[in-house]
Amino acid sequence: MGFQQALSGVNAASQQLSVIGNNVANASTVGFKGSRAEFADMYANGFSSGAATNQAGIGVQVAAVTQGFNTANITSTGRNLDLAINGNGFFIVKDPTSATTANSTGSISYTRDGEFQQDKNGYIVNGTSRLQGWMADANGNIVPGPVGDLILSTSQQQPKGSTKVDLSVNLNSASTSPAVTPLDPTNSSTYNYTTSTNVYDSLGNTHVLNYYYVKDPVTPNTWSVSVYADGSATALTPAGGQPVTFNSNGTLATPTTPFTVSVPSTTGSSSPFNVAINLTGTTQFASQNAIVTNQGDGYPPGQLTSFAFDKTGVLTANYSNGQTKTVGQLALATFANPQGLQQQGGNRWTEGSASGSPAVNVPGASNAGLITASALEDSNVDLTSQLVDMITAQRYYQANAQTIKTEDQVMQTLINLR
């Protein structure tokens, strides 16, 4: 009789409609991956030779409900913590209420949902789960090792006291020596060129170094530079200034190493503090006096103004003092068999026995995709195809129900026989 076959078909069609309905319901869910019902036929097997060749079969079963992990459209959002994976891989997130270490059983899950934000403690979170990666050290280098929580500190960036200045200028070879001597910073007739650099003490207070260049009236290709700190001549400037000489082709001959000036401070910082002045790159050509390089290594304290991820997942913070700092780098996990991941809801999966262990890499490495910042990955559900599949499943359901009706009529005919 066909009741069993028809009933299995009705059940299979019902489950297929449930899968399609779930896909349709999640057509706008960020990072959702649509599923499909996969069917298999059923036969009754004998003890010796398996199913008989003339056996009609006993129906259909849902062999599996599998997800398609193809990448969906990526939509720009303008939010700097919205992230999308362009290619393979999953974000690694950790439940902070679970065990204390990043690799603890049950604490790690995987998601394609890149709707991240910063919580009150600076953690980058999706819901309450923290994004995993590697933090940078004090020098901005990514520290390898096990993944951990990514933290974006909103505290003030500490100042850095100046220790050196790279200062290169061009001095006009056609300049004539000043007619008025000695050097007087208040009298421009006593020097040929001047420029300045801001330097910072250990507390981040600004001090100004002024440089005064004077061409030697007797010796060709010879100049001197005197350095004043906050309007006063620095103690370590040689009498008459630091000699600066040039080769006949206009390149710097001396000094070949930096010279040091001592900057006094009355702000409560370390005082005095020494700054090495590096004149490498200074030239004497027949063009106007001009700055080529003027860069110190110190800076004042700064407030966080913005932050952003690049395509390799590196998180960079920008501060009000003009400094940028590498904070860390997010990690992506890839699996040999994503179909083996266990669904947990909330756009999360966990490692399963069939998925294999995760391969954790930086975005763009190995089989991992790249990051698109300020964007989200849409659901990969195609509503048009799902609605067509829904009609097909409905017809499939109706056909199996008709089989039940026909069998019922056959049974009724048999019962009515006299």
How does DSSP assign 298-350, residue by residue? -B--B-EEEEEE-TT-EEEEEETTS-EEEEEEE-EEE-S-GGGSEEEETTEEE
Residue 331 in this model has a pLDDT that exceeds 90:
yes
Residue 48 in this model has a pLDDT that exceeds 70:
no
Rounded Cα distance between 184 and 284, Å, is 23
Q: Is the peptide bond before 178 cis (omega within 30 degrees of 0)?
A: no
Reading the block at residue 36, the tokens are 């499909």
Mean pLDDT (the chain) is 90
Class of domain 164-296: mainly beta
Rounded Cα distance between 244 and 225, Å, is 7
Q: Which of 293, 269, 289 is nearest to 281 (CA)?
A: 293
CATH 2.60.98.20 in the chain, residue ranges: 164-296
Least confident window among 21-35, 95-109, 400-414:
95-109
* pTM of the full structure: 0.79
**Residue 53 pLDDT grade (very low, low, confident, very high; cuts 50, 70, 90):** low
